[in-house]
Each structure stands twice: as C-alpha cells, then as structure tokens.
Amino acid sequence: MNGVSTRVMPTSAGPVLGVLGGMGPAATADFLDKLAARTPAGRDQEHIATLVYSDPTTPDRSDAIVAAGADPLPALVHGVEFLSSAGVSAIAVPCNSAHYWFNDMQHAADVPILHIVDAVADKVRAWEGGVSRIGLMSTDGTARSGVYDRLVDHGYELMNLTDLGEDNPTTAGIRLVKAGSLERAQTVLVEAANMLVDRGAQAIVYGCTDISAVLGPAPPGVAVPVWDSATALADAAVDYIRNERHVGGTATRKVTHGAR
C-alpha cells in the first residue's frame, strides 16, 4: 500500500465498515441511509461505525468498460488502500460497475470486500416465488461486463435493455440521477422496469446504486418483485459487522472469488 498513510481506528469503535463511495455521491448517501435503517439498533452506540472514502472524480466505470474511457482502477485501488490501512474490518463498494475490478481491489486490500452481486444472489435465492427470468436495470457497462454472471451461474436468466442503444431508458434514467433530476429520473426508470416486464421479466434487480437512490422496493406501477443491490449490500454489511462484534475480532482473511 505504497503512498497511503497508516491510520488506526479507535479500538472503542469495534469493527468498522469501510465504504468506498462517490460513484455517484447520491448513491453513497443512499447506501449510508440504508445501512442505518437496516441495522437493528435502539440507540446510537448500537449502530455500525463507518469510515467513508468518497471520490466523485473516479473516472466513469461504464465508459471504461464499453467505450475505452479513462481507467478508474488507480482511483479504486487508492481508496481501497486508504480504507484498509485505516483499520476497517471490511469494505463495501456501493457501485455495481466498480465490481468489474473486484479482483484488483481485493488484491489491494488486507480485509474482505463484500461483493454486491453475492449480496443480491443471497436475496434472490431466499425468495420462494419461483422466479427464473430477471430484468437487470444497470449501466451498459455493468450489463455487458459479466459482473452479474453470478446470477446466471445460479440458474437465472438475465434480461436487459442494452439492445436499445441510445434509446435505452435505463441509461437515460441513470444520467438524470447523476444530474440531480430525481423526479424525472424516477419516471424514466419506472418506464424501463415496465419495459423489462413486458419482455418477460418475472422480477427486477436494481444493478446500479444510482437507481437504488430514486426507486423504492415497490416502484409505482411495477407489478413484479424487485431487489435493490444497495439494500442487499447494506444487509450483507450489517450481518458481517455484527458477526465480527460477536466473535470479538477483526477480519484479516482475503476474499478470493472474483467478478469477471
């Protein structure tokens, strides 16, 4: 971890969750809100200590995957090294497309990085509704990258709207979120969800945390089950940190499974 100063978290904080954010800022704020809401706590001291590294200047992940855009990996690795050296127990990255570089990020960290698609897969497997075809709402980069192949490996068929190119309402909705037009973004993203349902999707996964920031668990007019990757990651983070509290230790093992 050359070039990153070592900082020690106070031992009184217990296990600390590192959050690699800024991709985008609204998605990071939404994830922290979900983390607090999903933590069983009756007072401040029962919530999870977090250290957030938020860098909105990280190059666009989807552009890097599909359009030879600037490489975000140096920024991702720097953030992971910063959090790891600061003494966190695990790291959550509330950005789906960043998981294309999961192996590289994990290699740079001394603690586990919680994989957002594994968290989603846990939710889908736990549901007893008999879903086989899932509509993925994500950036084109995430859809084309293979990040969500984990769901395919579990026997689910994935659908998306990337064949629409510039007319893809999912892409348009994500851009509106990043521009701060949240009300308009919600309308466009509901349209995208219903387009997937019309194509045969039996459920929807929000495979972009910017979508999670504006659509709730039951978006108006969408009549199929919905799983939100940001909520799934928040639940996984709560489970991990609470388990660390119970065992009384700080995780040092590395996660070896990859995203590609």
Per-residue HEC secondary structure of 103-115 comes to HHHHHHCCCCEEC
Least confident range from 53-57, 133-137, 140-144, 183-187: namely 140-144
Tokens representing residue 22 in the block: 């800024």
pLDDT attached to residue 253:
39
Average pLDDT across the chain, whole number: 89
Nearest alpha carbon to residue 98 among 155, 167, 27:
27
d(CA 62, CA 136): 15
pLDDT attached to residue 106:
97
Average pLDDT over residues 3-18: 70
176 Cβ neighbours under 8 A, 6+ residues apart: 182, 184, 185, 188
d(CA 97, CA 206): 12
pLDDT attached to residue 13:
67
Instruction: Please determine, for residue 260, whether its predicted confidence score (pLDDT) is greater than 50.
Output: no
Burial level of 39, CB count in 10 A (0-12/13-18/19+)?
middle
DSSP E strands in 46-184: the ranges are: 49-54, 90-92, 113-114, 133-137, 157-159
d(CA 48, CA 133): 35
**Given pLDDT bands bounded at 50, 70 and 90, which one contains residue 257?**
very low
Instruction: Please determine, for residue 71, whether its predicted confidence score (pLDDT) is greater than 80.
Output: yes
CB 107 within 8 A of CB 28: no
CB 156 within 8 A of CB 127: no
Q: What is the pLDDT of residues 213-222, one digit of tens each?
A: 899 888 989 9
Tokens representing residue 121 in the block: 């897969």
Return the active site residues.
95, 208
DSSP E strands in 14-169: the ranges are: 16-21, 49-54, 90-92, 113-114, 133-137, 157-159
Tokens representing residue 210 in the block: 């910017």
Q: Could you tell me how far CA 70 lies from the centroid of its own chain?
A: 21
pLDDT attached to residue 259:
39
Q: What is the pLDDT of residues 143-176, one digit of tens each?
A: 989 999 988 988 899 999 999 998 999 999 999 9
Domains and their CATH numbers in the chain = 11-115+232-247 (3.40.50.1860), 117-229 (3.40.50.1860)
**Given pLDDT bands bounded at 50, 70 and 90, which one contains residue 10?**
low
pLDDT attached to residue 237:
98
Tokens representing residue 237 in the block: 């983070």
Instruction: Please determine, for residue 191, whether its predicted confidence score (pLDDT) is greater than 80.
Output: yes
CB 86 within 8 A of CB 23: no
Instruction: Please determine, for residue 251, whether its predicted confidence score (pLDDT) is greater than 50.
Output: no
Instruction: Please determine, for residue 207, whether its predicted confidence score (pLDDT) is greater than 60.
Output: yes
Average pLDDT over residues 9-31: 87
Least confident range from 82-86, 107-111, 151-155, 246-250: namely 246-250
Helix (H) or strand (E) holding 79, with range, is: helix 73-86
Tokens representing residue 234 in the block: 């928040």
Instruction: Please determine, for residue 92, whether its predicted confidence score (pLDDT) is greater than 80.
Output: yes
